[in-house]
Amino acid sequence: MRQSIFISGAAQGIGAAIARLFYQQGYKVGIYDINVDQAQILADQLGPHAKAGKLDVSQYDQWQVALGEFVEWAGELNILVNNAGILYSGDFEKTDIAAHHRTININVNGVLNGCHAALPYLKKAAFARVINLSSASAIYGQADLVSYSASKFAVRGITEGLDTEWQKYGIRVLDVMPLFVQTSMVKDMDAGSIKNIGVDLTPQDVAHQIFALAKAKGTILTATHTPVGIKTKVMYQLSSISPQFLNRLSNLVLTRKS
């Protein structure tokens, strides 16, 4: 029996790259997105073992419907990837408060909704894993990306808490922490960090890391957090050993606008 993967925000970018890779590896793939037409185009391109559907991750009832129809089609839910997310950049006070609230609603509540609605199905599966999309922005709070960075800190906390709590069910909850990725999300982004650090990662880089986590044995030796890319790995390691004032100083340098 083919294992299955359900991906939120899967119509484009990182989500679409995940869908393509897992389909190529023999999985049944759920491509769910608020843009259902684009999701359906991708599913049609992939073939009969791909299913598209509509999902606004901020709406819990839509999660219930989407997961129910997916499991009925796939047989069981093995891997949930909470990928859907948005980003607003620029000066905190110049960003409309509704945009800050929308960031939290999608990036944080979307993950809470997904994990909560998926658990009954994950508990029934022979193998089950959750992989969340966190970010290098969850290493240290980022200027010009305050609500986005805060949302990814929340994802990091959700991941850590559930990875511990759901041990009783044999379910690992992991995340990946990429730096900036070549997607439409970072196009025209107004933040000093992207200008100073650059955009080196591709959606395929992130997808391959997620596939590695999906295949890894679920022992305690599998790290809860996985930085993606050399720059992120260096930042992640340094943040754990550097004094707080040095972490702040390095972020001031990296996020300074010219």
Q: Which residues are catalytic?
A: 148, 152
Alpha-carbon span 107 to 104, nearest angstrom: 5
- CB contact set of 55 (below 8 Å; sequence gap of 6+): 8, 32, 33, 34, 62, 63, 66, 84
Q: What's the 3-state SS for 14-76?
A: HHHHHHHHHHHCCCEEEEEECCHHHHHHHHHHHCCCEEEEECCCCCHHHHHHHHHHHHHHHCC
* CA 187 to mean position of chain CA atoms: 18
138 DSSP 8-state letter: G
For residue 128, give the 3-state DSSP assignment.
coil
Annotate 200-226 with b (16+ C-beta within 10 A) or e (fewer). Answer: ebbbebbbebbbebbeeeeeeeeeebb
Which of 238, 241, 236 is CA-nearest to residue 226? 236
The rounded distance, in Å, linking the Cα atoms of 42 and 51 is 9
